[in-house]
């Protein structure tokens, strides 16, 4: 059978092939330091687990939910006001099963074939996948070292800006670890107004930020609510990646369009998960802040520790990732990743898997405690991969 041609865009997942190699080494009894995937090793708060369990004990919770509970929309609005000082209305909020799924559905709701969408390069993969599923035309704006891995609007030619319909931005950024500046967002908002481009901000790492913090909402920027929507995932702030909870927030016409698409193919989020989300959003914030400091200790152990052994990895400004240059003796990031895994037992992700501008770098996820990161660096040093 010939399956839909939209599948032709997608090959074997990069993480799968590296994982196979890792399993082979583990079978040989080798110790593996796995820093390849951004799944937090921290735990969700007990109040979040309790809310889910309590709700799951009620048989009424097992019906189709059909829509978001009003208390859920309100909890998001209260959180935004408390945490970011940003006022939004419940009708500007829609839950989705993670930003991953939300980005895919957003692209289907907003883009026609041939519409132009601007995406970062390197890019969190679903940004591209959503665009390709919608058969839209991605145009990649580079995030380069020269501009601090931030948006450099001058790189976008006038004709591209004129035809662009949507632009996805995300800071603190995966994979490059850069953070936004208020000035960058202010310029982005005027640019979006000038060219009538919808800005989609993915705010996955607003609570994991070491520079220019505390992390904020894009809507904190004057004028942003007229030009943008924001994905706000609970995955990383609250360590609930498996529960799949995120929100699309902002311009009502856009939220309504995505809701319309979703309503054709979806019967709503499981009620116990909605209850867990309410508990997360209205519960204590101290663990979220403490966790950011824990990530910072890991960032310091990795970046400073690497520099001490002669590997010039700059400090990551935010996100749970570190973007490390490939040592000059290797010609590709994949070649280096395989050698690092074979010789040091360290698993990371080749930068090339995030787009052409990712070549020359590898990404480490900060998912091990500082002591283990230090041991990992010992293994790197002894392996001789740094030359
Ligand atoms: C930038 C970015 N957006 C979204 C996600 C996924 O979020 P969710 O779990 O809400 O799908 C990730 C996960 O790594 C991410 O790095």
Model confidence at 123, in pLDDT bands (50, 70, 90)?
very high
Mean of pLDDT values over 314-319: 97
pLDDT tens sequence across 176-213: 999 999 999 999 999 999 999 999 999 999 999 998 77
5-43+287-383 matches 46-282 in fold:
no
CA distances from 140 to 103, 347, 362 (A): 17, 27, 19
Model confidence at 171, in pLDDT bands (50, 70, 90)?
very high
Q: What is the pTM of this model?
A: 0.96
In this predicted model, which residue has the larger pLDDT, 11 or 92?
92
CB atoms within 10 A of CB 269: 21
**Mean pLDDT estimate for the chain:** 95
179: three-class secondary structure by DSSP: coil
Mean of pLDDT values over 344-358: 95
363 has pLDDT over 90: yes
**Closest C-alpha to ligand 1, atom 3:** 204
Longest Cα separation, the chain: 62
Q: Which of 15, 175, 235, 273 to mutate to test the pocket of ligand 1 (most atoms within 8 A of CB)?
A: 235
Model confidence at 21, in pLDDT bands (50, 70, 90)?
confident
Domain 46-282 CATH assignment equals 3.40.640.10: yes
Mean of pLDDT values over 244-254: 97
**Closest C-alpha to ligand 1, atom 7:** 99
342 has pLDDT over 70: yes
The CATH architecture to which 5-43+287-383 belongs is Alpha-Beta Complex (3.90)
Q: Which of 35, 94, 96, 204 to mutate to test the pocket of ligand 1 (most atoms within 8 A of CB)?
A: 204
What are the sequence ranges of the domains in the chain? 5-43+287-383, 46-282
The two structure tokens encoding residue 271: 């009620």
**Closest C-alpha to ligand 1, atom 10:** 98
- Residue 5 contacts residue 135 (beta carbons within 8 Å): no
- Ligand 1 atom nearest residue 234's Cα: 10
The two structure tokens encoding residue 145: 């070292």
- Nearest to residue 174, comparing CAs of 118, 224, 131, 236? 236
15 has pLDDT over 80: no
| Centroid of ligand 1 to alpha carbon of 257 (angstroms) | 22
Model confidence at 37, in pLDDT bands (50, 70, 90)?
confident
User: Parallel, antiparallel, or unpaired: how do β-strands 246-250 and 93-96 relate?
Assistant: antiparallel
CB atoms within 10 A of CB 101: 16
Mean of pLDDT values over 99-103: 98
């Amino acid at each position: 059978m010939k399956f839909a041609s939209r599948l032709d865009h997608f090959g074997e997942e990069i993480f799968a092939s590296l994982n196979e190699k890792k399993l082979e080494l583990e079978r040989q009894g080798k110790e593996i330091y796995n820093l390849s995937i951004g799944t937090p090793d921290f735990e969700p708060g007990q109040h979040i687990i309790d809310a889910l369990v309590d709700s799951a004990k009620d048989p009424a919770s097992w019906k189709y939910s059909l829509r978001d509970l009003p208390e859920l929309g309100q909890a998001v609005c209260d959180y935004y006001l408390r945490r970011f000082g940003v006022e939004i209305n419940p009708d500007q909020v829609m839950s989705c099963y993670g930003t991953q799924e939300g980005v895919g559905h957003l692209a289907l709701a907003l883009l026609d074939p041939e519409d132009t969408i601007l995406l970062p390069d390197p890019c969190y993969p679903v940004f591209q996948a959503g665009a390709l599923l919608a058969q839209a035309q991605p145009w990649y704006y580079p995030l380069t070292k020269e501009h601090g891995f931030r948006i450099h609007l001058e790189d976008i030619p006038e004709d591209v800006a004129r035809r662009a319909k949507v632009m996805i931005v995300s800071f603190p950024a995966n994979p490059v670890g850069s953070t936004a500046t208020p000035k960058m967002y202010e310029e982005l908002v005027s640019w979006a107004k000038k060219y009538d481009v919808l800005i989609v901000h993915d705010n996955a790492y607003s609570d994991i930020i070491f520079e220019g913090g505390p992390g904020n909402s894009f809507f904190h920027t004057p004028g942003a609510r007229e030009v943008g929507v924001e994905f706000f995932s609970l995955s990383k702030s609250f360590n609930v990646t498996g529960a799949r909870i995120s929100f699309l927030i902002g311009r009502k016409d856009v939220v309504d369009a995505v809701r319309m698409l979703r309503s054709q193919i979806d019967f709503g989020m499981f009620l116990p998960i909605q209850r867990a989300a309410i508990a997360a959003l209205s519960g204590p914030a101290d663990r979220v802040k403490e966790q950011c400091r824990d990530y910072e200790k890991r960032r310091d152990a990795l970046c400073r520790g690497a520099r001490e052994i002669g590997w010039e990895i700059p400090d990551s400004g935010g996100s749970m990732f570190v973007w490390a240059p490939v040592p000059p003796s290797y010609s590709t990031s994949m070649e280096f990743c395989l050698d690092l895994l074979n010789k040091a037992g360290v698993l990371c992700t080749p930068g090339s898997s995030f787009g052409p501008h990712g070549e020359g770098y590898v990404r480490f996820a900060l998912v091990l405690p500082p002591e283990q990161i230090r041991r990992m660096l010992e293994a790197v040093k002894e392996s001789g991969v740094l030359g």
